Structure 1
Amino acid sequence: MRAYAVGDIHGHLDLLKEVHALIAADMAQHGAAPVVHVGDLVDRGPDSRGVIDYLMQGIAAGQDWTVLKGNHDRMFWRFLRDPAELEPGLRADLSWLHPKIGGAETLESYGLHAPGDRPIDAVHAEAVAAVPQAHRDFIENLPSIYPLGEVVFAHAGIRPETQLQDQIEDDLLWIRGVFLEYDESFGPLVIHGHTALEAATHYGNRVNIDSAAAYGGPLTAIVIEGREVWQLTPEGRKPLRRDVPAPFLKYMPPSR
């Protein structure tokens, strides 16, 4: 089994196109294979709308791309459905439009003016009118887990000692502590994002590919063959093996 994976995009269409070029170059040498995007398409970056358009158009054109749902993607969808509806996993004192979360940048990419600084009812009405129904449907129908060969992909991770078919979406989109602290095998190698690091890191039982594009870092693309992992770079493949973990960023996105 060979597959590619792309980390948390967060509205950075330019970075997404760059890593897809790296993937295309690797495929030219090794052959075509599926590409899995681990979620968080939107928020914080400048062009969330462009990211969604790009992915939808690629899939419609027949690209073998899988796009998983991230917690930010669900917050976006939930806001459009009902801005008063609470998002499980997000602190009760925050909202999707809070500056720490980045929803305002997403709505700005759809043409809204100052969505974080105006009455919520007006912003919601404008957002519903501005965001195409096709984008809403796309996000709503994204899967939250994708097993493939000896690997399983999920945005945030999986709950340890729980069968894949019994995982729940709230965990797949938001989990941290019990997943990040688990040292035993999960069975399949888990490829995930959600928890921003300075660089992609292999922990033996899981690989975190969120290299903090949301905060000015790079966007990571990897290739997996069996359980072996390489990071894609302009110079080619770089082995990504179990190593000293990259440090967590000083700012950790707020969650429950």
Structure 2
Amino acid sequence: MSNLLHRLLGRALSRTPTTARDGVFGVMRARPLPTIYAIGDVHGRLDLYRELEARIASDEVTGEKLVVLLGDMIDRGPDSAGMIDHLLAPPPAGLARLSLAGNHEDMALRFLRAPDPKAEWLAHGGVETLASYGIVRDFAEAQSLPRKVLAMRVAAHVPQEHLDFLAAMPLFLHAGPFFLCHAGIDPALPLERQNRQTLLWSRRFATPEGPPPRGLAPGGSVIQGHMPIARAEQRDWRINLDTGAYITGQLSAVRLAEGYSPEFFSTGEAGVSAANRPLSNLEMQGGACWVCKYWPGAFSSERSDFKTQAREY
């Protein structure tokens, strides 16, 4: 497991102590910081991820570049198995990668360790993941299999290395003024006291916030995914990068460099834009505020099945 952890963290590990508390395993990155490229929920869209990764590799910045995937790399989309294979392979020259756990990796790991044809995960993207391994064709087949047969198929088709990958992923990266995780944080608690349930499952991006949590540097940001919105946004001290890639075809990312404004980009655009704008004194002090425009009715039960499922899972 330790060798796999070194592969997951790559060169970033050289100055990256890890911390574990109450089931919360995270990564602390010491200065000097790399340029960080955070990527939202991929959900099995390896094609979109490859596009963004190639653009990041060609981005002309000096120094180390670290790609951070914010969880939910799997489920819903067509190629979860291929996505994990890709992340286990060496990154392009000049890049390091860090994959953070999302609630879908958490659900998948629990299922793969104890397959159950009645598991809720199957209805929330799990069937697509099993299909990518050649385990089942569709939801009906998955539910019809006896538990023992399903378990035998999982054991025969899912490599142990993939299970180790899912089990080894940290829940967060704290690098200078940036705190990256899947589902966001509870601002009532200091960063060092965030719990596993919040980091994987909270749904607070649409909720107006007050002051940032204790432990977040002045002008710092919490970068998350998990809650689908029409366009990647910064709202006060939160950034959300989940743009529903598996159904919209838009996978979003942000370039983060200490002392500079975040630079958003996504699939289908020409490339990462010019160097980030230096932050003003007001922004460095955490006084700036951005307005986030959400999908109308994105979290309403009157919308499509995608919107309803995204709200819950």
- How much does 1:73 deviate? 0.8
| Counterpart amino acid of residue 12 in structure 1 | R
Whole-Å separation in 2 of the counterparts to 1:247 and 1:130: 38
1:198 touches 1:217 (CA, 8 Å); kept in 2? no
2:145 aligned residue (106, 119, 128): 119
Structure 1 unaligned segments of length 5 or more: list them: 85-92
**Residues 254/222 of structure 1: CA separation in 2 closer, same or farther (3 Å cut):** closer
2:202 aligned residue (151, 170, 175): 175
SS in 1 for 2:134: coil
- How much does 1:55 deviate? 0.7
Whole-Å separation in 2 of the counterparts to 1:14 and 1:4: 18
Match of residue 21 from structure 1: 54
Match of residue 286 from structure 2: none
1:97 aligned residue (106, 117, 122): 122
With 34-43 and 233-242 compared, the bigger mean Cα shift is at: 233-242
Whole-Å separation in 1 of the counterparts to 2:36 and 2:251: 17
Match of residue 262 from structure 2: 229
**Residues 49/115 of structure 1: CA separation in 2 closer, same or farther (3 Å cut):** same
1:154 touches 1:192 (CA, 8 Å); kept in 2? yes
1:160 touches 1:178 (CA, 8 Å); kept in 2? no
Structure 2 unaligned segments of length 5 or more: list them: 1-32, 278-288
What does the per-residue CA deviation read over 1:32-72, in whole Å, with 9 as the maximum and x for residues that have no partner?
32111101011110100111111111369894111000101
Whole-Å separation in 2 of the counterparts to 1:21 and 1:51: 15
What does the per-residue CA deviation read over 1:122-169, in whole Å, with 9 as the maximum and x for residues that have no partner?
223311221101000111110011101101001001111212222111
| Counterpart amino acid of residue 184 in structure 1 | P
Task: Tell whether 2:27 aligns with 1:5.
Answer: no
SS in 1 for 2:180: strand
SS in 2 for 1:202: strand
| Counterpart amino acid of residue 293 in structure 2 | P
Q: Which structure would you say has the larger Rg?
A: 2
Task: Tell whether 2:76 aligns with 1:47.
Answer: no
- How much does 1:237 deviate? 1.9
Q: How does 1:189-208 map to 2 (within 5 A)?
A: 189-208=221-240
SS in 1 for 2:256: strand
With 241-250 and 4-13 compared, the bigger mean Cα shift is at: 241-250
Structure of greater relative contact order (alpha carbons < 8 Å, 6+ residues apart): 1
Whole-Å separation in 1 of the counterparts to 2:224 and 2:75: 18
**Residues 182/83 of structure 1: CA separation in 2 closer, same or farther (3 Å cut):** farther
- How much does 1:217 deviate? 3.5
**Residues 124/57 of structure 1: CA separation in 2 closer, same or farther (3 Å cut):** same
| Counterpart amino acid of residue 120 in structure 2 | S
2:227 touches 2:311 (CA, 8 Å); kept in 1? no
Whole-Å separation in 1 of the counterparts to 2:186 and 2:206: 6
For this pair of structures, how many residues does the alignment match? 246
What does the per-residue CA deviation read over 1:186-209, in whole Å, with 9 as the maximum and x for residues that have no partner?
324100000011110110210000
TM-score calculated relative to the size of structure 2:
0.71
Task: Tell whether 2:107 aligns with 1:75.
Answer: yes
Whole-Å separation in 1 of the counterparts to 2:272 and 2:89: 27
Provide the alpha-carbon RMSD of the alignment.
Answer: 2.7
- How much does 1:24 deviate? 1.3
1:210 aligned residue (207, 224, 242): 242
Whole-Å separation in 2 of the counterparts to 1:242 and 1:135: 39
